[in-house]
Structure 1
Amino acid sequence: MTVGEGVVIDVEGLRMRYGAKDVLHDVGFQARHGEVIALLGPNGAGKTTTIEILEGFRIRSAGRVEVLGADPAQGDEAWRARVGVVLQSWRDHGKWRVREMLSHLGGYYAPYGSERIRRPWDTDELIAAVGLTEQAGAKIMSLSGGQRRRLDVAIGIVGRPELLFLDEPTAGFDPQARREFHDLVHRLADDQQTTILLTTHDLDEAEKLADRILILAGGRIIADGSADELSRRIAGEAEVRWTRDDQRFVHTTTESTKFVYELFKQYGEDIRELEVRRASLEDTYMTLVRQFESGEVENEVHALEEVKR
């Protein structure tokens, strides 16, 4: 695998073994500046181990890993200042106030700022970005679950990271907070060119946020692509819905384009509210994992690994 321009994460042949058990098998992928990647997989697939290796918190058994141009196992403080981590929960310092905590943590990043990237994020700007302006002077222990989660996010991005790891980022968010957080992720990726790697069990969230989906099963990457690209791998029927003469129709077909063409050819402008639904990301995910567990995808993955060698 050749490192190209703008590559932030470069993983090749990553293996992790605990005793006699291999948890990761020849995992390989790249991530570029401003890319949002969702890492999906069933429990025990190796997601947490992969993320911890990339964050520099766990030493791999074999393989090559470069994050922001360095081996994360050797990452120094200057390297760590470029990386942000949002954990599932972070419960310390309940008596601190929101602005006080973020200002204090931001001070650690000041020596690592540059003309290109100003560190840390201005405290009040950051508080506004995560929707905690009204709680800026409140003690952390008084925050609701959703507000506490927003603070977790603020703590993860206080140093304006070039790479951000998000672990179940919107757990506990209400629908409005979730929508605002999704907007924040898009701003970080589009405006700040922040690379974001997130793990989530919310497949709808992954589909909305991620440019690419990585599916990890049995310690192997079994799929890598956009939600649309992955859905095309699944041979299945699309559902076509439309209205004609105030009647609602639904038809399933494996050739949706041909069907829609014939539909308009026959009824023309009488067709209203046309909608074509292919397999959702959840359908695709479940199918790929099921195929892997049955050996269908596993054989394909092994064949790809042999080609790489």
Structure 2
Amino acid sequence: MKKVVWGVLSTAKIGIEKVIPGMQKSAFCDVRGIASRSLEPAQRAADKLGLAKAYGSYEEMLADPEIEAVYNPLPNHLHIPLTLQAARAGKHVLCEKPVSITAQEAAELRTVADKVLVSEAFMVRYHPQWLRVRELLRAGRIGTVRQVQVFFSYFNDDPANIRNMPDIGGGALYDIGCYAIVAGRFLFEADPKRVIALVDRDPSFHTDRSCSALADFGGGRHLDFTVSTQSVPYQRVQVVGTTGRIEIQIPFNAPLGGQTKIFIDAGRALDGSAIETETLPESDQYTLQGDAFSRAVRGEIALPYGVDDAITNMRVIDALFRSERSERWEAV
């Protein structure tokens, strides 16, 4: 397959440190250039990463006929405007999460969905550990799945960090709560019907520094999660069924190019002595994400997750914020 030629919108840290290096290892991606609001930072990033082109504006890159697909890691409030701009320039777009600030805003992507491919960049859905867990669930390894539990936290109290700026989509629910929602949807292979949330806001930033939530998937199935931007760094996913439990050790920030582990517990010993450990092969979830999107661009596979999937995730986030205000269950 001929490699897809990629351009990157902005010199965001996640792109420079994780996504671009991962895509550069792909057999299907040719990351050709990077754009910033001025040439100097773009050139520095291009030199650091060994990219052929640096652009002094986003518009310059989007006008380049060689660029076929765009990775958009801009701040959250710019995801939709620049994704639409790229799509209208004929570029396919892989957009960082969350895809928007509201589901209504995300729905604007439907205006371009018949012209180009657009997908939200939840790289975890391509990682072997997540695929293996879902395979085990489908095979009935832990019986009927009842609960998915997620905890995801880090500590960041820097007022200059975009994650602490409410007007541009900062806060725990947008930044990492979206991953917890995806975990429930991915593992249940369904969407929640209603949600309820408990939110604590930083008195200075006014962002949600922690959010605990319950999502009802029907049929006795629920996701419960806590996410925080001001707690000790920690992350786990637990999937609990009628005859067993599966734990993902490092679900979201899996070591790039490293092995990962999942734990399978049939409940025979409460001290964990009977837990079985599966070690998954070395992989880079950003490489795998780039592989899948590029192959979809070339028509080798169907796009696994498109615009409607991204809108659904935002509908859940919208409902959780409504629940914060109403202090009751809200329909998704």
TM-score range, shorter chain: under 0.3
Higher share in helix = 1
**Could you tell me the TM-score, scaled by structure 2's length?**
0.24
